[in-house]
Amino acid sequence: MLDISFLATTQGVPDVIGLLFPNIPNLIAHILASIVIILVLSKLMYKPFRKAVDARRAKINELLNEVVDKQIQANKDRKEAATILNEAKSESLVIVKNARLDANSQKADILESATIEATNLQNHAKSSIIQEREKAQDQIKKSIIETAMLAASKILEENIDEEKNKQIIDDFIKDLI
């Protein structure tokens, strides 16, 4: 080792060099104490700290797995919902189409039955009108015959001459009007 003690005896020069180099026994004691403290702390603190970190890591992994599972389930549910919605739309279109076909069929049936009924009413009205006309004609014929018979009987009662017959017929016609 190098002896530097002769420099410290000089006046006016501080003992700087002695302070620059560490005290070896002190340094060794500090290093050994630090190693002991590190070993003790690692024995006492490392395992519980490591256990806490591992537990936290396991909890985080568990939560991440749950999130992934829930996301997968949500995607699956969304696909199922989309499928159900598409099926419902298709079904509603079929229902609407069938309802329109049924409505058109009922419309055609109603129009056909209304046309038949209107034709029947028209035919019935025509036949009623024809019957009424025939009745009226029969009544007119009867009244004409009765009138003619009445006129003939009056003419026969008073058969005087041609002028008189004309006069009786004119009077009879005036009475009718």
pLDDT of residue 122 exceeding 70, the answer is yes
Percent of the chain past pLDDT 70, that is, above it, reads 81
DSSP secondary structure letters along 136-171: HHHHHHHHHHHHHHHHHHHHHHT---HHHHHHHHHH
pLDDT of residue 120 exceeding 60, the answer is yes
User: For residue 84, how many other CB atoms are within 10 A of its CB?
Assistant: 10
pLDDT tens readout for residues 90-107: 999 999 999 999 999 999
Q: What share of the chain is helix, strand, coil (3-state, %, to 5)?
A: 90, 0, 10
Q: Where are the domains of the chain?
A: 5-176
Determine the pLDDT at residue 46: 81
pLDDT of residue 8 exceeding 60, the answer is no
| Mean pLDDT confidence for 62-69 | 95
| Mean pLDDT confidence for 140-163 | 72
**Helix and strand totals (H; E) in the chain:** 5, 0
